[in-house]
Amino acid sequence: MLEIEAIKTSVFESLESNVRSYCRSFPTQFSYAKGALLQDEHKREYIDFLMGAGALNYGHNNDYIKEQVIKYISNDGIIQGLDMYTNAKEAFIQQMNDTMLKPKELKYKFMFCGPTGTNAVEAALKLARNYTKRTRVFAFMGGYHGMTLGGLSVTSNASHRNASGVELNNVTFIPYEDGYINNFDALDYMESLLKDTHSGISKPAAVIVETVQAEGGVYVASEAWLVRLREICNKHGILLICDDIQVGCGRTGTFFSFERATIQPDIVVLSKSLSGYGFPMSMLLLKPELDIWKPAEHNGTFRGFQLAFVGAKAALEYYQNFNLEQTMVAKSKVIEHVLKNEIAAMHPDIRIRGIGMIWGIDFAKFQESDITGKITQRCFEKGLLIESTGRKGAVIKLLPALVIEDALLDKALDILKEAISWHVQQTVS
Report the site for a copy of itself in 370-399 (rule: CB under 8 A).
390-392
CA atoms within 13 A on the CB side of 426: 11
Q: How far apart (Å, rounded) are the C-alpha atoms in residues 371 and 216?
A: 18
Q: What SS3 state is found at 22?
A: helix
- Region class of 410: left (phi > 0), else alpha (psi between -120 and 50), else beta: alpha
| Residue 199 interacts with a copy of itself (CB under 8 A): yes or no | yes
Site string for a copy of itself, 295-314 (x = CB under 8 A): xxxxxxxx-xxxx-------
In the set 24, 43, 103, 105, which binds a copy of itself (CB under 8 A)?
24
Site for a copy of itself (CB under 8 A): which residue of 126, 351, 378, 417?
A: 126
* Residue 139 and residue 174 in contact, taking contact as beta carbons nearer than 8 Å: yes
- Closer residue to a copy of itself (CB): 151 or 261: 151
265 binds a copy of itself (CB under 8 A): no
3-class DSSP state of 178: coil
DSSP structure class, residue 57 = T
Looking at 36, 115, 257, 376, which residue binds a copy of itself (CB under 8 A)? 115
Residue 77 interacting with a copy of itself (CB under 8 A): yes
Between 376 and 424, whose beta carbon lies closer to a copy of itself? Answer: 376
Backbone angles phi, psi at 48, to 5 degrees: -100, 115
| Closest CB to a copy of itself among residues 4, 345 | 4
Q: Is 398 helix (H, G, I), strand (E, B) or coil?
A: strand
Q: Is 241 in the site for a copy of itself (CB under 8 A)?
A: no
Q: Are 253 and 356 in contact (CB under 8 A)?
A: yes
Minimum Å distance from CB 247 to a copy of itself? 13
Measure the CA–CA gap between 312 and 211, rounded to whole angstroms.
22
To which H or E segment does residue 285 belong? strand 283-286
Report if residue 86 touches a copy of itself, rule: CB under 8 A. yes
Which of 36, 47, 55, 358 is close enough to bind a copy of itself by CB under 8 A?
55
Cβ 178 to a copy of itself shortest distance, Å? 14
Pairing, β 137-140 against β 171-174: parallel
Q: Are 87 and 94 in contact (CB under 8 A)?
A: no
Among 103, 169, 321, 323, binds a copy of itself (CB under 8 A): 169
State how far the Cα of 22 lies from the Cα of 18, in Å rounded to an integer: 11
- CB proximity list for 370: less than 8 A, separation 6 or greater: 393
Number of residues that bind a copy of itself (CB under 8 A): 148
Q: Does 70 bind a copy of itself (CB under 8 A)?
A: yes
Query: Given the complex with a copy of itself, which of 242 and 261 has the nearer CB atom?
Result: 242
CB 423, CB 374: distance < 8 Å: yes
Decide: is 41 part of the binding site for a copy of itself (CB under 8 A). Answer: yes
267-286: contacts with a copy of itself (CB under 8 A): 271-272, 277-280, 284, 286
Q: Using CB under 8 A, which of 167, 345, 407, 429 touches a copy of itself? A: 167
Between 246 and 261, name the residue whose CB sits nearer to a copy of itself.
Answer: 246
Q: With contacts defined by CB under 8 A, name the span among 177-185, 252-260, 352-360, 416-424 that binds a copy of itself.
A: 177-185
Q: Is the CB of 202 or the CB of 262 nearer to a copy of itself?
A: 202
Question: DSSP character for 255?
Answer: S
- Residue nearer to a copy of itself on the CB measure, 87 or 427: 87
The nearer residue to a copy of itself, 260 or 271, going by C-beta atoms, is 271
Toward a copy of itself, which CB reaches closer, 305 or 359? Answer: 305
What type of residue sits at position 156? S
Residue 20, sorted as left (phi over 0), alpha (psi -120 to 50) or beta, turns out to be: beta
Number of Cβ within 10 Å of residue 116's Cβ equals 21
